[in-house]
Amino acid sequence: MSKSKQSEKKKNNDNSEIKKRIRAVSPARWIVLSVMLVITVLSYVFYGYLFAEDSWFTQPNTGVLFFDKAIGIVPVLAKCIQSVTILLLIVTVLALIVRKSFGKTQRGLTISSLICNLLNWLTAVIFVIIVLSAFGVDTTALITGAGVLTLIVGLGMQSLIADIVAGLFIVFENEFNVGDYVTVGDFHGEVISIGIRTTKIKSFGDVKIFNNSDLRGIINHDTELSYAHTFIDVEYGAKLPEVEKVIKKHVGKLKVEHAVGEVTYDGVTALGASGVTLRFSCTCKEADIFAAGRELNAAVKNMFDEQGINIPFPQIVVHKK
């Protein structure tokens, strides 16, 4: 299997993996939501009957303090279930809308996964507030205190906040996606993970982790096709017009497996110490640029051998007295 096919297969596997991760919680969430929805409907229908002022739940009298306290909590739990069910229903509908809106592309799956994670965190915070409010805790003072605490923590964690903001901009502005080949500074490799705080880039088995706020001057090589070049010399003794005539006749027939399109002859690029340097090019995917370069070297060398074009090499001439 060629490297280009392996690259496509890898991206398809990544998409399938993301889809599995997104859908993994859906059946469990629907089951829990269905059970809670049934309980909520029943509690709304029978609330006045079960939890009236003179009912057994509001005025328990078992003679045991522990059981009286436990039974007295039931009306509070019913209200919690009602509120939480409505909250989960809204969040689930929003998650479905997000997943349908962004589609099944690599970028769409990344964005929908990010938004769903944010919705889950928001749901957890609201859930805590609802439960505490149902049990009589002053949530207004709690929210105010949390805001002050967030401000204090935010001032001490400015770099973390910068990383998170930069990560959000990377995802939503589509600067690059998982699977793209990029250059950051002097490091070139494949993006294997884009997180809210860090981005991971892999090159020849080494994985470098960048803070999102440190990603500046990024070169994305996958926006367009890349070029693989090879430079080869011909001897000064050869007549250049005849050599170029032969090259132009046969260069279109060269077979480079990882190339996209035909090989092209670009002309003379330098006059070296022992020969005239010619350049050949072909377009390819950035993931295949090294493989295409090696195949291009072999193809041009074979063409030169078949057409009798000599490639100069260093020689030592020894004179005897």
Q: Are residues 199 and 237 in the same domain?
A: no
- Find how far residue 315's CA is from the centre of its chain: 53
Q: Are residues 27 and 142 in the same domain?
A: yes
Asked if residue 321 belongs to a domain, the reply is no
Asked if residue 128 belongs to a domain, the reply is yes
CB burial of 36-52 (b: ≥16 within 10 Å; e: otherwise) equals: beeebeebeeeeeebbe
pTM: 0.53
Query: Over 230-287, what HEC string results?
Result: EEEEECCCCCHHHHHHHHHHHHHHCCCCCECCCCEEEEEEEECCCCEEEEEEEEECHH
Asked if residue 159 belongs to a domain, the reply is no
Residue 205 — left, alpha, or beta (φ > 0 → left; ψ -120 to 50 → alpha)? left
Q: Are residues 216 and 231 in the same domain?
A: no
Q: Are residues 296 and 192 in the same domain?
A: no
- 130, 84 in Cβ contact below 8 A? yes
CA distance 31 to 15: 26
Other Cβ atoms within 10 Å of 183 Cβ, number: 16
User: Number of structural domains, the chain?
Assistant: 3
Q: Are residues 245 and 196 in the same domain?
A: no
Q: Are residues 231 and 208 in the same domain?
A: no
**Domain span at residue 69?**
15-153
> In a structure prediction context, what are the per-residue pLDDT tens digits for the chain, which is 321 residues long?
444 454 555 455 544 544 444 444 456 767 777 777 777 777 777 666 666 666 655 666 666 666 666 666 666 777 777 777 888 788 888 878 877 777 666 667 667 767 777 777 788 878 777 777 777 766 676 666 666 666 665 655 677 778 878 888 887 777 888 888 999 988 999 888 887 788 889 988 899 999 988 888 888 888 888 899 999 999 888 889 999 999 999 998 899 999 988 999 999 999 988 889 999 999 998 888 999 999 999 999 999 999 998 888 777 778 887
